[in-house]
């Protein structure tokens, strides 16, 4: 009761923002320290990601994109600031976050199915349920015919499809992706972008996507945070208009090229 009364004024607004935002970062800084020097990789970075949103961070090498994602994943600690997922301060890695990295991180001795089921096995999910979940995600990424294959028998794109399926099988609240298609050839990369969008639309996952590829960020996202380096900060938030992707040959369309030019100049201006 007391809470309801307190919540009537400013606090109710704060509660509402926290409730809407799946991720809320406030003034996150990361300083790498050695005996001789200190390096500010992230300087008071604030952002939010709403539930079911697809948000990308794009920026030049060294702007702190990967540091930010590693902090979100709980693999790295921030130096100062606050970073909450569903209202809870991040305190180490957790099953609420699924990760897909650029480097292939499948267990080489496990089959496609076993890789996808890995987290479910750890959680003690009953066999029947585990099989059904893996079947669903193998179907979703188009690898059901490769259930028994080992990673060494797969192409780079197929490996990343397994990595996405494995991350999603654990039903994470947020999917964190660090340049997941960075090592793929352009054609495979395009196909993977299309696939990821289809999955995102179907599964309603909240996605945080890191890339240095501006086209990729515009094509995939609803919002893009443009970062700058030295120190790593967020320079601007760019809204990607709904329906942009519906246009044929979208990457050559006037609206797309305009957004690309805008982001190139934001990044370029700072690098001069």
Ligand X SMILES: Nc1ncnc2c1ncn2[C@@H]1O[C@H](COP(=O)(O)OP(=O)(O)OP(=O)(O)O)[C@@H](O)[C@H]1O
Binding residues vs ligand X (CB under 6 A): 32, 39, 41, 59, 61-67, 212, 232
Q: Round to whole Å and give the CA distance between 86 and 51.
A: 9
- Per DSSP bridges, beta strands 54-58 and 206-211 are parallel
CB atoms inside a 10 Å sphere around CB 123: 10
Query: Least distance to ligand X from the beta carbon of 189, Å?
Result: 16
Query: Least distance to ligand X from the beta carbon of 67, Å?
Result: 3
- Structure token digits, residue 14: 């704060």
Q: Round to whole Å and give the CA distance between 209 and 101.
A: 10
Encode burial over 58-77: b for 16+ CB neighbours within 10 A, e otherwise.
bbbebbbbbbbbbbbbbeee
Q: Which of 94, 129, 127, 117 is nearest to 168 (CA)?
A: 117
Query: Least distance to ligand X from the beta carbon of 74, Å?
Result: 15
Nearer to ligand X, 160 or 211 (CB): 211
Nearer to ligand X, 36 or 152 (CB): 36
Nearer to ligand X, 74 or 232 (CB): 232
Is the previous residue joined to 174 through a cis bond, with omega within 30 degrees of 0?
A: no
Nearer to ligand X, 21 or 66 (CB): 66
Query: Least distance to ligand X from the beta carbon of 148, Å?
Result: 35
Query: Least distance to ligand X from the beta carbon of 47, Å?
Result: 15
Nearer to ligand X, 111 or 221 (CB): 221
Q: Round to whole Å and give the CA distance between 117 and 127.
A: 10
Phi, psi of 50 (to 5 degrees): -85, 165
Cβ-based neighbours of 113, under 8 Å, separated by 6 or more: 134, 138, 147, 148
Cβ-based neighbours of 73, under 8 Å, separated by 6 or more: 93, 97, 99, 176
Nearer to ligand X, 7 or 62 (CB): 62
Nearer to ligand X, 62 or 156 (CB): 62
Identify any residues that bridge with 54 across adjacent strands, giving them in sequence order: 207
Query: Least distance to ligand X from the beta carbon of 249, Å?
Result: 28
Query: Least distance to ligand X from the beta carbon of 120, Å?
Result: 30
């Amino acid at each position: 009761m007391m809470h309801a009364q307190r919540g009537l004024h400013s606090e109710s607004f704060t509660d509402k923002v926290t409730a809407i935002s799946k991720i809320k970062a406030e003034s996150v800084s990361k300083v790498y320290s050695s005996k001789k020097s200190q390096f500010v990789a992230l300087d008071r970075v604030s952002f939010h990601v709403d539930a079911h949103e697809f948000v990308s961070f794009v920026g030049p090498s060294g702007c702190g994109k990967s540091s930010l994602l590693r902090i979100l994943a709980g693999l790295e600690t921030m130096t100062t600031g606050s970073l909450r997922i569903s209202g809870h301060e991040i305190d180490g890695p957790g099953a609420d976050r699924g990760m897909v990295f650029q480097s292939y991180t499948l267990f080489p001795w496990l089959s496609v199915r076993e890789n996808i089921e890995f987290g479910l096995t750890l959680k003690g999910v009953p066999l029947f349920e585990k099989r059904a979940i893996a079947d669903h995600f193998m179907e979703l990424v188009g690898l059901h015919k490769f259930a028994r294959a080992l990673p060494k028998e797969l192409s780079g794109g197929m490996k990343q499809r397994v990595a996405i399926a494995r991350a999603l099988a654990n039903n994470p609240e947020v999917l964190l992706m660090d340049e997941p298609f960075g090592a793929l050839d352009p054609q495979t990369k395009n196909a993977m972008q299309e696939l990821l969008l289809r999955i995102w639309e179907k599964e309603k996952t909240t996605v945080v996507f890191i890339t240095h590829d501006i086209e990729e960020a515009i094509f995939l996202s609803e919002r893009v945070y443009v970062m700058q380096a030295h120190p790593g900060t967020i320079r601007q938030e760019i809204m990607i208009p709904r329906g942009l992707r519906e246009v044929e040959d979208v990457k050559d369309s006037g609206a797309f090229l305009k957004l690309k030019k805008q982001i190139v100049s934001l990044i370029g201006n700072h690098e001069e």
